[in-house]
């Protein structure tokens, strides 16, 4: 993959800023870590990554520094090498438990603030989930939950919830297309509860959904 081949042009026919290459590289590596393509304990070397993506070491270094701030990787020596952060089973369980507690607070706060547009967003995303592939489910599901979070005025709670979802190791209960169908149906029940203003039912459905 060569990132520089994928640079697009703006309306004034100028190349997008160099920082966009760094941001794109950051997003790609972060996605590979979140999906489990880059497993815990994997060593990341700047030169190897630069060759892989067809860029210089400068944007690679910047992207790795951003990932280090996220806690997804950490430096292992003074030569620019990093390793994907490893978590033990207890730490992963604690992260998931904390994530669930925060998310329940957020969606409870969001409930009275949902708009018709928000409901349309959720419905459109859930229709995509209904027929999506296993590969695309995680990102679509993540986007569905981000819409739910976006209507909360608890900014720090939202930040922590998103950070936990994006930082914790790969964890997904979806194992088959039957599971995707189940997730779609649970999402649909939550959307119907929002439409009908049934807050307690919505919260109960959401709590059940995140405790698969």
Q: What residue spans define the domains of the chain?
A: 3-84, 89-210
Distance CA 64, CA 55 (A): 14
Each of the 212 residues of the chain gets a pLDDT tens digit; together they read 656 554 444 444 344 444 578 889 998 998 888 777 888 899 999 999 999 999 999 999 999 999 998 888 999 877 678 999 888 888 888 888 999 999 999 999 999 999 999 999 999 999 999 999 988 898 899 999 999 999 999 999 999 998 888 776 655 567 889 999 999 999 999 999 999 999 999 999 999 999 87
Place of tokens 């590289």: 25
- The strand ranges marked E within the chain are 43-45, 73-75, 81-84
What sign for the dihedral angle of Cα 186, 118, 148, 71? positive
Place of tokens 């042009």: 9
> How far is residue 178 from each of residues 65, 137, 174, 194, 208, measured CA to CA in Å?
39, 12, 9, 25, 17
Pick the CATH number of 3-84 from 3.20.20.80, 1.10.10.10, 3.40.50.300, 3.40.228.10: 1.10.10.10
Place of tokens 């590596």: 29
Q: What CATH code would you report for 89-210?
A: 1.20.120.530
């Amino acid at each position: 993959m060569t990132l520089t081949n994928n640079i697009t042009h703006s309306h004034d026919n100028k190349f997008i800023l160099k920082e966009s290459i760094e941001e794109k590289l950051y997003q790609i590596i972060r996605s590979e870590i979140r999906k489990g393509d880059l497993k815990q304990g994997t060593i990341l070397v700047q030169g190897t990554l630069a060759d892989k993506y067809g860029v210089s070491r400068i944007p690679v270094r910047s992207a790795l520094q951003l990932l280090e701030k996220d806690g997804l990787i950490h430096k292992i020596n003074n030569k620019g090498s990093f390793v994907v952060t490893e978590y033990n089973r207890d730490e992963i369980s604690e992260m998931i438990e904390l994530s669930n507690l925060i998310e329940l607070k957020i969606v409870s706060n969001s409930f009275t603030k949902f708009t018709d547009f928000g409901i349309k967003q959720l419905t459109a995303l859930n229709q995509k989930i209904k027929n999506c592939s296993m590969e695309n489910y995680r990102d679509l599901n993540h986007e569905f939950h981000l819409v739910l979070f976006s209507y909360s005025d608890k900014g720090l709670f939202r930040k922590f919830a998103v950070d936990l979802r994006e930082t914790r190791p790969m964890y997904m209960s979806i194992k088959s297309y039957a599971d995707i169908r189940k997730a779609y149906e649970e999402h649909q029940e939550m959307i119907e509860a929002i439409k009908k203003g049934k807050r307690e039912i919505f919260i109960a459905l959401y709590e059940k959904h995140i405790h698969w």
